[in-house]
Structures are given as C-alpha cells and as structure tokens.
Amino acid sequence: MSVLVVVECDKGEVKKSSLEVASYGSQVAQLLGTTATAVAVGEASEASLTQLGEQGISKVLYDAEPRLKDFVNGAYTKLIATAAQKEESTVIVLANSNIGAAVGSRLAVRLQASLATNVVELPKNDGGQFTVKRGAFSGKAFAEVVLGGDRKIIAVKKNSIEAQHEAGKTATVEAFSAQLADTDFADAPKQVVMQDQAGGILLPEADRVVSGGRGMKGPENWNLIEDLAKALGAATACSKPVSDVDWRPHHEHVGQTGITVSPNLYIACGISGAIQHLAGVNSSKVIVVINKDPEAPFFKAADYGIVGDVFDVLPKLTQAVKELN
C-alpha cells in the first residue's frame, strides 16, 4: 500500500523537480505510516535511481523498455497504472510538468482517482481525506481543495517543496515490466528536437532566471542577459513581445500565456511588469527589477530594484558576480 512517486529522468539523471516530488511522496508516506516507491520514466541510470534513497524512497521500479526513453502519453500512463496496481498504491505523486499533467489526468480517469495539480504544500490528512493547497488564477491566488474518494493523485508545483537529502541512504532498484504492447505507443514521437539550453539550464527547472523585455532594444543586446545568466548559473527568459517578434525563442516566454516559473531568484531587465507577465513569475522567491522608469509597475512586485539603464547596470552586475566567485 505504498505511496507511488513518478520520477522523471533525463540523460541518466533524476530531474530536480522529481527530487522534490520524491521528497513530497516520502513525507506523505510517513503521514500515512507506509513507505514510498518510485517508478522511473525517461533515460535513467541505476546509480541515480539508487540515490533516490536520499529523498526517502525505499524502492524504485524501472522498466528498461527502450521506447520509454522518450515521452509517450499512452505508454507512460499504462506503466504507472500497472505500478500502482502492483504496489496497491492509493496515493500517486508526480511533478506538475508537461509530462506529469498529461499522465496524471489520464490516470485519474483510469484509476478512478481524484486529482489536484499545481499543489504547493503537503496535504492535511483528515482520516484519509486529503486537503491540499494549490495555485490558481495564474499565480494570483491559492485554493484549498478537498480530494475525495479512495485514490488520490497529486501533481506538485516545481520549486515549492524543498528536496531533502539524507546522505548515504539508498533505494533498491527493481526491474519491472508493464507488458507494454505496440498499441500503447500510438503517440510515440517520430522525432524529438531538444533546444539549445543557455548554459545547459532548463528554464522550467531553473533556480535562477535572468529575463529580458522590450527595454533590451533588440536581440543583438542579449549577450548582456546571457553574460549575467552565465555568471549566476541562471537560465534566460523573456517577455511575450520579445518572443512574438522573434528576438528570442517561444520557449523562453514567461507569463500568463507562456510558461510559469517559480525560481529562487528572478531578475527582470527592461520589463514593465504587466499583470500578464507577473502571472508567470510572481511565485518566484526573490524578484529583482532593473528598469529606467521609476514608475514601472514591476517595482511594486519586486524585492530589490535598480532604477537605471540596463546597458549600464547589467555589465556592473555581471562584474560583481564574477568578483564574488
């Protein structure tokens, strides 16, 4: 009756958001007096799966079927449903990622479970009934939601739970087969195209983000953003008009109609702070705004600010970071 945790792997490593999910799942298991089992998807290595013990996972199920390396909605759903049956899991925890949401919503129907996405806190358990807090209204509010029924699925928002590390603890990795058939791979990709990540840091997973808006004047000035990002070990992002005119790729666009990020540090350079932009970034822990207009609305949502010209301020910041290290 263990809690089942879905762990996404990439290039042999467990994704940071999945370490958070593993910690979340093992804390739910403690709450229920049981253990946490993980089921791994994507390209995993035995060593990184063993290490999930540090997040409180006791056992990891891994199906070595090669076609599971890429995301396939049908196959992943069956894999996890089979693991849940085997473990008799009544609680499944996954990341609120594109993969987690796509799989979690199908599982909710297949397993007749209640589902909460975008969850930011551990559940309150009231005699088996869970109440969870989740983000709503695009970062402008939270909702407390009661999950009914015997089975529950929780998708945890990135960077809202701290991954725990109990050094030296290991999980046992168990080979597992969900007996997947060709029909489960109906939506298998014909091709997978990965982006060039600035400095190899994935924006949705990033701890720090340096973001540029129309105040950057043009794509030729993005080296200023990239230099600071590189010095900080940050990912780069942008406002919607910037990706609309192709100064930057679409996948960097954050906000209400782009991706939502919740890093520890978000530095906004030449972005006015329109309400639709804020919706995608306002759950960041610390927000820094650099804008030459002291009346820019973004300052109201910021923790630190510099009223100044980005072309003057950004090189100074990059220099200061380099001196620090």
Partner 1 sequence: MKFLVCISNVPDTTTKITFTPDNKEFNKAGVQFVINPWDEYALTRAIELKEAQGGGTVTVLNVGEADTEPNIRKALAIGADDAIRVNAHPKDAFFVAQQIASIAKDGGYDVILMGKESIDYNGFQVHGMVGELLGIPTVAPAMKLDMSGNTATLEREIEGGKEIVEVATPFVASCQQPMCEPRIPNMRGIMTARTKPLKVVEPTGDAPRTQVTEYQLPPKKQGVKLIPAESAGDLIKLLRNEAKVI
How many Å apart are CA 269 and CA 290, to the nearest integer?
A: 5
The footprint of partner 1 on residues 136-195 (CB under 8 A) is 136-149, 186-195
Q: What residues from 227 to 246 belong to the interface with ligand FAD (CB under 6 A)? A: 239-242
The interface with ligand FAD within residues 264-283 (CB under 6 A) comprises: 270-272, 274, 276-277, 280
Residue 224's H or E segment, with its range, is helix 222-232
To the nearest whole angstrom, how small is the minimum distance from the Cβ of residue 186 to partner 1?
5
Residue 37 beta carbon to partner 1: minimum distance, rounded to whole angstroms: 23
Task: Tell me which residues in 213-272 interact with partner 1 (CB under 8 A).
Answer: 232, 250-251, 256-257, 264-265
Closest to partner 1 by CB, 17 or 26: 17
Which of the listed partners (partner 1, ligand FAD, none) does 191 bind, with a CB threshold of 5 to 8 Å by partner kind? partner 1
User: What residues between 262 and 281 interact with partner 1 by CB under 8 A?
Assistant: 264-265, 275-276, 279
- Bridge partners for 287 per DSSP: 266
Token readout for 280 is 């995608």
Instruction: Give residue 250's identity as a one-letter amino acid code.
Output: H
Q: With binding defined as CB under 8 A, does residue 108 bind partner 1?
A: yes
| Nearest distance, CB of residue 265 and partner 1, angstroms | 4
**Any contact of residue 208 with partner 1 (CB under 8 A)?**
yes
Q: Which two tokens stand for residue 120?
A: 């930011």
Question: Phi and psi at residue 135, in whole multiples of 5°?
Answer: -75, 140
Judged by CB under 8 A, the residue of 84, 113, 209, 229 near partner 1 is 113
User: Shortest CA distance to 26 belongs to which of 59, 66, 49?
Assistant: 59
Per rule CB under 6 A, count of chain residues that contact ligand FAD: 25
The enclosing H or E element of 145 equals strand 141-147
CA distances from 9 to 13, 48, 53, 162, 320 (A): 5, 9, 15, 18, 35
Burial class (CB in 10 A: 0-12, 13-18, 19+), 33: exposed
Q: How far is the CB of 103 from partner 1 (least distance, A)?
A: 7
Q: Is 305 in the site for partner 1 (CB under 8 A)?
A: yes
Q: Contacts with ligand FAD in 164-223 (CB under 6 A)? A: 213-215
317 residue type, one letter: L
Q: Can residue 29 be called a binding residue for partner 1 (CB under 8 A)?
A: no
